[in-house]
Amino acid sequence: MKYIESKKNDEIKQLKKLSATKNIRKTGTYLIEGFHLVREADQYDQKFEKLFVTENYSDDRLVKKYYDIATTISEDVSEEISETKSPQGIFAVIKVQDVPDMPTLDGKWVILDDVQDPGNVGTIVRTADAAGYNGVITSLNSADTYQPKVQRSMQGSQFHLPIYRMDIQKALKLAKDSSLEIYGSEVNKSAKPYNELPKTENFALIMGNEAHGVSKDVLVNCDENIYIPILGKAESLNVAVAAGVLMYGLQSL
Amino acid sequence: MKYIESKKNDEIKQLKKLSATKNIRKTGTYLIEGFHLVREADQYDQKFEKLFVTENYSDDRLVKKYYDIATTISEDVSEEISETKSPQGIFAVIKVQDVPDMPTLDGKWVILDDVQDPGNVGTIVRTADAAGYNGVITSLNSADTYQPKVQRSMQGSQFHLPIYRMDIQKALKLAKDSSLEIYGSEVNKSAKPYNELPKTENFALIMGNEAHGVSKDVLVNCDENIYIPILGKAESLNVAVAAGVLMYGLQSL
């Protein structure tokens, strides 16, 4: 098995470039790290292009399975690639999934209108998975879900439910054409409190940008604009928390 | 007004040390940054020890009010002090509030059992404020709420509701002595789904450590252990999201 000791190695330099969206698009591959995530990618049949591990993984089942594309790396290299303080020493380069022709949407969806913080986007996908939603659509200006930080905070949910990326108006049209009820979320007391909505099995919940919320030209196209009552003196909620409250609040438990 | 140009200035070096808990305890002061937070601290009558601003704030009302303890700083110094990428150029050193003799608890409380990520702790306090909870108690091993990162993510809620810090068993005893129902949260299907709890006006909700959850010697002392149903394939929720789902789910909206 190949061994890379120096963090100045060309292949390692290329790998680090996979934190940028343009390089993810160019190569059609993205980077994940950590044992849990790499194991989930394998379990959910993602296409592995490369596997990098420190020596303590040499007897691992995954290393045996991907032996032909595996490389051993030094701790030094592991720290260089990793975005965490205590890297687990296991990384994989995965092929970006082909986006199938867009289906008709069914069930419960979350649409992100320019949610820009990677942690927020990742956490919302993870929550959508937990809350039993059917999928997530991100607008073109939302944080790219193939970025390492988003990948890490999705904690495997990226392999459990479909995530599409498209122009926000196209996403709205798709939801409308699929006969979903469309709920825009607002920090606005003239919108409808989420807990007063009738239970619905087919809807799209739209969450907005951290600073500006859901954009006006999206809100006008929603069937209902909803809000979470603020009962104390806070001005708003973190968008990932708000998404969680709404996703579970609108779920028929 | 005093002017500091160099980031090597001794006072600036001292200021930077206020990111560490031990120095916050030693000096009895902590550091906040950003216009919104500094304004909220003033509005809620916190005791200002120092104010640092870049030149563009020289006509600001706050600078006039705190003129005797204000210092103008260069952009260079502002970047040195700040923990953000785009500092707003306004910082205050605030006196740590004296903890009053512990009252009897009343209403809805959140207790954090070793929640360690500063962003999670801050976001939970912000959500507790939004959801109309009466206060938050953090265990001794939770992230210190006077840390700059926690301060930033609380977004002013630290001035809206009381935050106590104490040994977790002491917190439990206080909640019991106050006749609050005590709910421990678990990722465990044998616990009770949160939406099946009877509505209660007086309770304490306990949220646990990111990796280990609420500790066993706390769970055994709870009146009821509750969980959020996981309907998809995710293993768990982010603790700040889970806290939001539970806080709103248990609130009588």
Parse chain A into domains and list their residue ranges: 2-95, 108-250
Among A74-78, B57-61, B62-66, B99-103, the minimum mean pLDDT is found in B99-103
* CATH top-level class of A2-95: alpha beta
Closest CA to B130 of A112, A211, A236: A236
Per the structure block, which two tokens stand in for A177? Answer: 């054409």
Beta-carbon-side half-sphere exposure of residue A26 (alpha carbons within 13 Å): 9
What is residue B58's predicted lDDT score, i.e. its pLDDT? 87
Is B248 within 8 Å of A242 when comparing Cβ atoms?
no
ipTM of this predicted structure: 0.93
B66-86 pLDDT, tens digit per residue, is 999 999 999 999 999 998 889
B137 close to B171: Cβ distance less than 8 angstroms: yes
Min Cα separation A46/chain B (Å): 16
Q: What is the pLDDT of residues A104-152, one digit of tens each?
A: 999 999 999 999 999 999 999 999 999 999 999 999 999 999 999 999 9
CB contact under 8 A, A233 and B129: yes
By the 8 A CB rule, do A192 and A222 touch? Answer: no
Torsion of CA A139, A140, A142, A145, to 10 degrees: 100
Q: Coil, helix or strand for B125?
A: helix
Q: What is the pLDDT of residue A120?
A: 98
Asked if B242 and B120 touch (Cβ cutoff 8 Å), the reply is no
Taking the CA atoms of B205, B209, B211 and B215 in sequence, report the sign of the dihedral they define.
negative
pLDDT in tens, A199-214: 999 999 999 999 999 9
pLDDT in tens, B187-233: 988 899 999 999 999 999 999 999 999 999 999 999 999 999 999 99
Q: Calculate the average pLDDT of chain B.
A: 95
For residue B126, list chain A residues with Cβ-Cβ distance below 8 A: 234, 237-238
Does A244 sit within 8 Å of B244, measured CB to CB? yes
Reported as a single tens digit per residue, the pLDDT across A214-248 is: 999 999 999 999 999 999 999 999 999 999 999 99
CA distances from A27 to A18, A104, A253 (A): 9, 29, 42
Place of tokens 């929550």: A127
Tokens of A28: 């059609």
Q: How far is the C-alpha of B236 from the C-alpha of B242, rounded, in Å?
A: 9
The type of residue at B206 is I
Q: How confident is the model at residue B174 (pLDDT cuts 50, 70, 90)?
A: very high
Question: For residue A239, what is the DSSP state?
Answer: H
Cβ-Cβ contacts under 8 Å, A237 against chain B: 126-127, 130, 244
Residue A11 DSSP SS3: helix
Residues from chain B contacting residue A229 (CB–CB below 8 Å): 253
Output the six-digit token pair for A29: 């591959």
Query: Phi/psi at B214 (nearest 5 deg)?
Result: -75, 135
Nearest Cα to A155, choosing from A119, A110, A199?
Answer: A119
Structure token digits, residue B79: 């970047």
Structural contact between residues A207 and A182, judged by C-beta atoms closer than 8 angstroms: no
- Rounded to an integer, what distance in angstroms lies between the CA atom of residue A248 and that of residue B244? 10
Give tens-digit pLDDT for A14-60.
999 999 999 999 999 999 999 999 999 999 999 999 999 999 998 99
Q: Would you tell me which CATH number, out of the four given (3.40.50.300, 3.30.200.20, 3.30.420.40, 3.40.1280.10), belongs to the domain B108-250?
A: 3.40.1280.10
Q: Do B231 and A156 touch (CB under 8 A)?
A: no
pLDDT for A100 equals 72
Dihedral of the CA atoms B237, B240, B246, B247 (nearest 10)? -170
Q: Tell me the pLDDT tens digit for each residue of B92-125.
A: 999 998 777 777 999 999 999 999 999 999 999 9
- The predicted pLDDT at position B56 comes to 94
**Strand runs (DSSP E) across A24-130, as ranges?**
29-33, 48-54, 70-73, 90-95, 108-113
For residue range A172-200, what is the model confidence (pLDDT) as tens digits? Answer: 999 999 999 999 999 988 899 999 999 99
* B35-46 as b/e: b if 16+ CB within 10 A: eebbbbbbeeeb
Distance CA A118, CA A22 (A): 16
Nearest to B136 by CA among B205, B69, B83: B205
pLDDT of residue A103: 75
Q: Report CB contact under 8 Å: A238, B233.
A: no
H/E element, A80: helix A75-81
Closest Cα in chain A to B158: A234
How many CB pairs lie under 8 A apart between chains A and B? 114
Instruction: Give me the residue label for tokens 């404020």.
Output: B129
Q: Given pLDDT bands bounded at 50, 70 and 90, which one contains residue B156?
A: very high
